[in-house]
Structure 1
Amino acid sequence: MPVLNDAAETAIKEALKTAILEKTTKLSNDGVNKGVAYLTDKGVVYIKQNITPQAREIFDCEYESLEAIAATNIIYVPKPLAIVDNPLGGALFVSEYIDMKTLNQFSQELGQQLARLHLHNAVLGKQKLKGFVGKEENVQFVKEFGFHVKTRFGNTLLENEWCSDWPTFFVRHRLSYQFRLLEENYADAEARELWSQLLRKLPQFFEGADIKPSLLHGNLQRDNIAETNTHPVTFHPASFFGHQDFDLVTSQMYGGLGQAFYNAYYDIIPRAPGSRKRNQIYKLFHLLNKWNQSGEEHKKKAISLMKFLLKGP
């Protein structure tokens, strides 16, 4: 749970403009950041800490991701309030506190909302072509793939330099980066050789695919999904503008969403031709990330998937 000394408490009070900062018994732990709710004179807030050297960048990603999703007014996310340097190391992240429980009755609604989130940027693009400016004039249409800050997945920070096409973005900033880390961590000869072969084959998986930039949650797994008494909630996003299927593969790999969620999603955005095999490329990213973060117990699955992908789409 966050360790707040006098200097940290003062900094948070100043950031929130509150005279009261009293710890409650409400706790949370997402595996990377530990947090607790605090009472302020403006209500209850949630404060969590990250003690890694990358803490500030990690929280910057989350802050900007939450703001981007909230601006669409589609999926409910906690309102980010402040990021404060922790005098004891790392940083502290302050957000709205939401009383949440395990996702149950709103799984279908979340599927519908995610589909609408994924379509939101395309809708803005069509409105721009027609010269229409509505109530979302502060939300800008994005024509490229990427994001204005880094993306955090676990404790891995990923670059999001803008690219005009999705395959280039995904290979450069996701797969190639993971293989560079793999080389630094393990110098695995088999993985190196398989990647050199797979890299030449990857364009085939995207032939004929019409992929437009969608705002993604980016970290859609069971630990980051919940509900209140009235609606679903998502949190700890790692957003960027990418291919919508990346969110779906993430959710499938890390569980927590039932068939009602996927049925509701595909009712709005049907599966695209070639998606089942193409989505294995996104699965490879996650397996490589696990290998880099958690050790060689994930090597077998990653190697097996690369060999499968080499057979072609």
Structure 2
Amino acid sequence: MVVAISFSCCMPSLHCPPIIHPFNFNKNKPPTVAAMSNDPVREWILSEGKATQITGISPVGGGCINSATRYDTDAGSFFVKTNRRIGPSMFEGEALGLNAMYETGSIRVPKPYKVGSLPTGGSYIIMEFIEFGASRRNQSALGRKLAEMHKAAKSEKGFGFHVDNTIGSTPQINTWMSDWIEFYAEHRLGYQLKLAREQYGDSTIYERGKRLARNLAPLFKDVVVEPCLLHGDLWSGNITYDKNGEPVILDPACYYGHNEAEFGMSWCAGFGGDFYKAYFEVMPAQPGFEQRRDLYTLYHYLNHYNLFGSGYRSNAMSIIDDYLRMLNV
């Protein structure tokens, strides 16, 4: 049995970031008990978590944004992420996303329990610990259950989310809008293009990208876009399987958006034919799907450019230029 947790963390590479399975702690190491006083994580576990004893605390490696720990107790195990620099708003957004997906009863996600501030600064989130099995890439189940989540969870408020959250460590603006094209142009492409200009002085990608963002309408001809609940950052490191072989998705950047935007990280998610066949049996593909695929990839390439540097610029620029030629604008 392999136990694993994956983190939303992409390394600076032109290729797909590596899949991380960081629960490789030494199982022969004697368990330790938290000795820190005024520890809100320990206090919650021993009260609302219904544990009377913490039998082991094991650090979990592999994250590049947050630290992670497994707490073993007589009431079961808990998974805890901490960040010593960022306040609870980041984890609050994650918890709201996890809970929204959890409540659909479709695909499995870790149930969030508690978000709070650390007394020494920073924040934490406590969630369900899921024991994972040896990787069984059940692409059909993943596609079907993801489509069931998209079909089950819609928003009457339009496109956006209850709070802003993060995509990696980049802010993700989720102010509600009634029009998807406007939302995607402003809060997704526009925000990333603005960051690129501010960080790198990249006026070329900004101007060309904004020109594209103003001319997206032809790509959505005869398309009905409903605000579906999206994981938002679905790459291979955020997809795994439980001990029964059922898919589990982790570390979301949730919002309500066009279901096709969920495939924006497909360049490093490993979605295959079985995945798409099962998905489209539940959520049929709409006209022009293939033409829009790179549009949703662009958002993530821009984010990688802003997070990791110029190695991703050419990918983003190529997509922008291809669409400008296609649309003749």
Shorter-chain TM-score: what band?
0.7 to 0.9
Aligned residue runs from structure 1 range 28-177, under 5 A: 28-53=61-86, 55-101=87-133, 103-121=135-153, 142-177=156-191
CA contact (8 A) 1:215 1:239 kept: yes
Counterpart for residue 197 of structure 1: 211
User: Cα gap change, 1:22/1:48 in structure 2, threshold over 3 Å: closer, same or farther?
Assistant: farther
Which AA in structure 1 matches 2:104?
A: T
Partner AA of 1:261 in structure 2: F
Aligned-residue CA RMSD (Å):
2.3
1:30 CA displacement: 3.9
Number of aligned residue pairs: give it. Answer: 292
For the structure 1 residues 157 and 16, does the alpha-carbon distance in structure 2 shift closer, same or farther, using more than 3 Å as the test? farther
TM-aligned CA deviation for residue 15 of structure 1: 5.2
Asked if the contact 2:66/2:83 (under 8 Å) is kept, the reply is yes
- In structure 1, the residue corresponding to 2:175 is in which secondary structure? coil
Alignment partner of 2:80: what SS? strand
The TM-score normalised by the length of structure 2 is 0.81
Q: Residue 255 and residue 18 in structure 1: after superposition, are their counterparts in 2 closer, same or farther (change >3 A)?
A: same
Quick check: 1:25–1:37 contact (8 Å CA) kept in 2? yes
For 1:248-305, what per-residue CA distance to the aligned partner results, in whole angstroms no more than 9, with x for missing partners?
A: 222x122244432222112222321111122211111111101111111211111111
Could you say if the C-alpha distance between residues 4 and 75 of structure 1 is closer, same or farther in structure 2, counting changes exceeding 3 Å? Answer: farther
Residue 17 of structure 1: CA displacement?
A: 5.0
SS at match of 1:311: helix
Residue 78 (structure 2) pairs with residue 23 (structure 1): no
State how far apart, in whole Å, the 2-side matches of 1:190 and 1:57 are: 33
2:317 counterpart (280, 303, 310): 303
Q: 1:32 to 1:102 in 2, by over 3 A?
A: farther
Distance 1:210 1:49 in 2: 40
**C-alpha distance 258-6 of structure 1, shift in aligned 2 (>3 A):** farther
Deviation at 1:170, TM superposition (A): 1.0
Q: Distance in 2 between matches of 1:265 and 1:89?
A: 43
Q: Equivalent residue for 1:125?
A: none
Q: Distance in 2 between matches of 1:178 and 1:184?
A: 10
Flag the structure with higher helix content: 1
Q: Percent of counterpart pairs with the same letter?
A: 31
Q: In structure 1, how many angstroms separate the alpha carbons of the residues matched to 2:315 and 2:218?
A: 22
State the distance in 2 between where 1:164 and 1:193 align.
Answer: 25
CA shift digits 1:25-71 (9 cap, x unpaired)? 47353432231210234211011212332x41221111001110111
Instruction: Give me the whole-angstrom Cα distance separating, in 2, the residues matched to 1:105 and 1:158.
Output: 30
- Whether 1:236 and 2:251 are equivalent positions in the alignment is yes
Contact 2:240 2:247 in 1 (8 A): yes
Residue deviations 1:188-244, cap 9 Å, x none? 121133124223322222232110111111121111111122222111111111011
Partner residue, 2:227: 213
SS at match of 2:72: strand
Q: SS where residue 326 of structure 2 aligns?
A: coil
Matched, 1:254 2:275: no
What is the rounded CA distance, in whole Å, between the counterparts of 2:293 and 2:248 in structure 1?
25
Query: What's the secondary structure of 2:215's corresponding residue?
Result: helix
2:107 aligned counterpart, secondary structure: coil
Q: SS of the residue aligned with 1:301? A: helix
Shift of 1:164: 0.7
Counterpart of 1:7?
Answer: 38
- Please tell me whether the aligned partners of residues 157 and 176 of structure 2 are also in contact (alpha carbons under 8 angstroms): no
Return the alpha-carbon distance in structure 2 between the equivalents of residues 88 and 52 of structure 1: 10
Q: Report how far residue 20 of structure 1 moved.
A: 2.5
Q: Report the more deviating stretch, 44-53 or 302-311.
A: 44-53
Asked whether the equivalents of residues 15 and 82 of structure 1 are also in contact (C-alpha less than 8 Å), the reply is no
Please tell me whether the aligned partners of residues 150 and 157 of structure 1 are also in contact (alpha carbons under 8 angstroms).
Answer: yes
Q: 1:83 to 1:208 in 2, by over 3 A?
A: same
Give the match for residue 286 of structure 2: 272
Distance 2:127 2:141 in 1: 24
Q: Distance in 1 between matches of 2:153 and 2:108?
A: 17
The alignment partner of 1:32 has SS state of coil
Instruction: Write the distance in 2 (CA, Å) between the matches of 1:33 and 1:292.
Output: 19
Alignment check: 8 A CA contact 2:71 2:80 kept: yes
